[in-house]
Amino acid sequence: MDEETFLHWGRTVWKYRADTSGENQPISVLLLDDLTSHKTKKVLDEFKRLYNTKIIVFPGGLTPKAQIMDTHNNRPYKSKLKAKLRAMRRTKYMAAKAEAARDPLHKGAVRVPKLTREEVVDAMLEAWEDLDPSSCHTRWHKKKIGPQRTLLKTFDTWTSLGKWYRTLSPKM
């Protein structure tokens, strides 16, 4: 993200954090990573002057400690989800390719069929269920963030929601 894009975000999103008019600008602190566009004089001045906001930049290398959800929970989840979606697309593609091979009138490339919303949600739930709750809990506990029971309860709640959703949507 360059400086102008970040300033545009400030004008269109951050400005309206307190109310829809954008006139109320409470004293705020915005914690950001060490991206160059977050630290320019123009950005710091505009956020201080227009939005009553102090920008604090995390030094490089602190992401694993400051953004634990991104590095310890979301990354494994997204990896598992991408792998599942890739496998589902490949399966659909191979089926479409086999069907095209049986059709003597088919010409041209075989398109990869799109996944349905239900298939994507199913893959999301499976990826979540494949996460090991104890490893997520252990990572959080090692960083001394959050009570142990609450973390496991939250994980169990999401897993239960996934199971409940599956009862509502018929299998394809």
Question: Does position 14 have pLDDT exceeding 50, yes or no?
Answer: yes
| Spatial CA neighbour of 63 closest among 84, 34, 20 | 34
Q: What is the pLDDT of residue 3?
A: 93
Task: List the beta bridge partners of residue 32.
Answer: 57
Q: pLDDT by residue (tens digit) across 111-135?
A: 888 999 889 989 988 888 887 766 6
Q: What is the pLDDT of residue 172?
A: 38
Shared domain for 113 and 43, answered yes or no, is no
Shared domain for 48 and 82, answered yes or no, is no
Q: What is the pLDDT of residue 147?
A: 47
Q: H/E element holding 22?
A: none
What is the overall mean pLDDT for the chain? 79
Shared domain for 95 and 37, answered yes or no, is no
Shared domain for 72 and 144, answered yes or no, is yes
Report the share of the chain in percent with pLDDT over 90.
Answer: 30
Residue 49, phi-psi category: left (phi > 0), alpha (psi -120 to 50), beta (remainder) = alpha
Shared domain for 81 and 126, answered yes or no, is yes
Q: Which domain holds residue 49?
A: 3-60
Shared domain for 46 and 82, answered yes or no, is no
